[in-house]
Structure formats: C-alpha cells, structure tokens
Amino acid sequence: MKIAEVRVIVTCPDRNFVTVKIVTDEGVYGVGDATLNGRELAVAAYLTEHVAPQLTGRDPARIEDIWQYLYKGAYWRRGPVTMTAIAAVDTALWDIKGKVAGLPVYQLLGGRSREGVTVYGHANADSIDAVLTEISGYVDLGYRAVRVQTGIPGLESTYGVSKDRMFYEPADAAIPTENVWSTAHYLDHVPRVFARVREEFGPTLRLLHDVHHRLTPIEAARLGKSLEPYHLTWIEDPVPAELQEGFRLIRQHTTTPIAVGEVFSSIWDCQQLITEQLIDYIRTTVVHAGGITHLRRIFDLANLYHVRSGSHGATDLSPVCMAAALHLDLAIPNFGLQEYMRHTEATDAVFPHGYRFEGGYLHPSEEPGLGVDIDEELAARYPYRAASLPVNRLEDGTVHSW
C-alpha cells in the first residue's frame, strides 16, 4: 500500500477547519485535523507546499518513521504550525491503520482502560445567577464536571464568556477584537462565584475554571489559595507558560490543582512542568501537539510523575481531533478529564462521526479507524472566512498576556 494523494481541505461550517485526507493507492483513506485557530492558512500552506509532495509514494503503515521524517527532516523543529501539520498527517495514518486492521484505533493503542471518557462542559454567563442556571443545565444532561466562567463586574467583556449559550466561538473578526482586563476586579470576583456554586451544587460536582494565562505566578498563587475552600478539580492556564519554572511559585503556595498545555506543541514545552510535578493535568491535544504518536509520548512521561491528561477540546478542534482524542483517552492509564464543547449542526454535518455522549461520558466509535469522516462536497459549500482570536489589553492600554 502506498500514499497516492494528500488532500488539504479548508472549510468554514460556522467556523474554519483545516483537514488532511490521505488517500492510498488501494482506496483506503484516513483523515486528520490540522486546524490552528486564527492561523489556519499557514498550516494549510505548510501541508500543501512542503509536506504533501514528500509523502506521496510512502508506505502509510510506517507511522513512527513518517513522524520522525517530518519532525527531524525539516531541520526546523517544533512550533505550532509545524506540529499541527505533523499532527494531521499522523492522525490520518492512525485512521488508515485502524481501517486496514479492521479495528477502532483505541484497540491499536492497547485497548480500553475505562468504560467511557469523562468530559466536562462549559457553563458561561455574565452574572453568577445566570451561570448557576447554566450549570444546572449541564447537571441535568448528566455531566459530571463543569467549567465555570462569568463576566467580571467592572469589565465590559470577558474572554470565554460567549453571547451564545450553546455554542462558543472566541475567534470573531478578521482583525482581532480587543478586550480590557483588570486583575484586581478578576481576583476579587472569582472566589465569590465559586462560593455560590458550591452552596448551590454541594461538594461533589467537579468544578473547573480557566484563567486564560492572565496572571503572574504570585497572583495565581493568591487565586489558588482563595479557591481552596471550594476544592476545584483545576485552575487552567493560570500564567503564560513559556517559563516553566514559574509554576514552582504557584505550587509553593496552594493546593488548588493546576492544568496547563492547550497552547503547547511538544513534549519539550512541558517536560519541566511534568518532571518537577509542578502541574496536575496536562492539556496538550492531538491536533496541536504532534498527533496521536507524540501526545501518547507526553502522556506516558506524565504518567511517571502523577500527572494526568486533561486534553483541550474547544470547538476550534474539529470532530476529527475529538474522535482521535477519545481513542487515546480511552486507552491511556493516566486519563484525567476531556474537555467537550458541542459543535454546531453545520460542523457536525461536514464531519459525520460515530462518537456519542451518554451519562457524562463520551464513547468513541467502534468502527475501524477513528470513526469520523469529512463530507467533501458539503465542505466545499462553506468557504474560508478570516477570523482571529481577540487581543487583551490592560485598562491603561498595555497589551496583556494570553
């Protein structure tokens, strides 16, 4: 069997997605997600111009060799664009391997380690009262874990608090929207939110909160301490994470667990965080951290250091990435939680998939391969629309961190 064609499909069924479809000379094909929010066309060009021509004629069964070839062979290692492109190829090759073997991908990864993949949903609202209603909605649907975000009094808009309750899309305009941020207002408000949430929902519902990299380590330490009475499952992205040793400072001050990694593209971005046990959950994803092959490597390292997986799963990760994530989540020993946000109907129609939500769990498809596809004709009806993530400024106008 040989790789006959590598197609790169860009489509915008309510938001942009880039998908790789690897077709073999025997007609079997595989799909991989290559979406990098706000930078989609950079990855598409990387794949079309530089990767596709090097893959034709190769044996699609040699997943590890192709991974190493693309990673080491390019000379320029790592980085989100490169690693997303490699991820898409890797994911598509696992899909092909599953189809050839006649097995769902989780069987190739060692088989099932649990009954289902526990997911968390997103409760967002402007006010505390409104967010309580959102949380109830998730509890009624059977969710066992909920991420809670609210508007911050004194700030006009807050990242991650969408206007649409069901669907969430922070990338809105071609030229980024700008938000204003105040750490003082934020640190004052968040403990009040979780005090109310615990009062309403009791001690056992798993609660999470995303800080979106907005704090310094000492501010994050204060936040963690102030949230200790409400025993969150994690605070996410408390600080920008280029400086891995910065997490030591947070760790020294609080027992609130820490999750990080949605923007990481390789094991090198988190090796110190993991080996020094500075975090509790690693949130790297199939699509942005080098595919199933590399993410498995990260999770295996994490397993040695009591760090569990908590993969990012926002709607800019396509159903192809979600399908791949679920196979890995089901198989690894150190699974923690999987983020899950429902895609829109248009997205679901372009990416028919067999995974399903039931009783707080997602279950991967039992079909051979990943159990997800792309309807290319339908995809062609949704042309690309430029959209960027917002930029964040302090009240005095300074550009603030993500």
Catalytic site positions: 159, 212
Q: Is residue 316 part of the contact set for Co ion (CB under 5 A)?
A: no
Site string for ligand EZ4, 362-381 (x = CB under 6 A): --------------------
User: Which residues in 243-282 contact Co ion (CB under 5 A)?
Assistant: 262
40 binds, among Co ion, ligand EZ4, none (CB under 5 to 8 A by kind): none
Query: Residues 210, 219, 280, 329: which binds ligand EZ4 (CB under 6 A)?
Result: 210
CA distances from 343 to 132, 218, 340 (A): 23, 36, 9
Q: Is residue 316 part of the contact set for ligand EZ4 (CB under 6 A)?
A: yes
Listed residue (292, 271, 293) closest to 282, CA to CA: 271
Task: For the beta carbon of residue 274, count every other beta carbon within 10 angstroms.
Answer: 22
Q: What angle do CA 348, 349, 355 make, to 5 degrees?
A: 45
CA distances from 164 to 157, 167, 209 (A): 14, 6, 19
DSSP E strand stretches across 84-205: 117-125, 145-150, 178-181
Which of these ranges, 37-45, 82-90, 203-211, 359-367, lies near Co ion under the rule CB under 5 A? 203-211
Q: Which is nearer to Co ion, 124 or 293 (CB)?
A: 124
Q: Which is nearer to Co ion, 3 or 211 (CB)?
A: 211
Spatial separation of the C-alpha atoms in residues 299 and 282, rounded to whole Å? 8
Query: Residues 160, 176, 191, 390: which binds ligand EZ4 (CB under 6 A)?
Result: 160
Query: Residues 21, 312, 327, 400: which binds ligand EZ4 (CB under 6 A)?
Result: 312
Unique residue bearing structure tokens 């899909």:
95
Unique residue bearing structure tokens 């965080």:
273
Q: Is residue 170 part of the contact set for ligand EZ4 (CB under 6 A)?
A: yes
Which of these ranges, 197-205, 250-258, 266-274, 308-316, lies near ligand EZ4 under the rule CB under 6 A? 308-316
Count of residues near ligand EZ4 by CB under 6 A? 10
User: Which residues in 245-264 contact ligand EZ4 (CB under 6 A)?
Assistant: 262
Query: Residues 33, 210, 329, 367: which binds Co ion (CB under 5 A)?
Result: 210
Burial 206-241 (b: 16+ CB within 10 A, else e): bbbbbbbbbbbbebbbbbbebbeebebbbbbbbbbb
Task: For the beta carbon of residue 377, count every other beta carbon within 10 angstroms.
Answer: 8
Q: Is residue 40 part of the contact set for ligand EZ4 (CB under 6 A)?
A: no
Count of residues near Co ion by CB under 5 A? 2
Listed residue (379, 377, 378, 399) closest to 390, CA to CA: 399
124 binds, among ligand EZ4, Co ion, none (CB under 5 to 8 A by kind): none
Cα Rg of the chain (Å, integer)? 20
Cα four-point dihedral sign 292, 330, 208, 166: positive
Q: Which is nearer to ligand EZ4, 249 or 389 (CB)?
A: 389
Shortest distance, position 35 Cβ to ligand EZ4, whole Å: 9
Q: Which is nearer to ligand EZ4, 316 or 367 (CB)?
A: 316
Q: Is residue 42 part of the contact set for ligand EZ4 (CB under 6 A)?
A: no
Helix axes 319-331, 291-304, angle to 10 degrees: 40
Listed residue (257, 197, 212) closest to 232, CA to CA: 257
User: Which residues in 86-145 contact ligand EZ4 (CB under 6 A)?
Assistant: none
Question: Which residues contribute to the site for Co ion (CB under 5 A)?
Answer: 210, 262
Which residues would be at the binding site for ligand EZ4 (CB under 6 A)?
37, 160, 170, 210, 212, 262, 312, 314, 316, 389
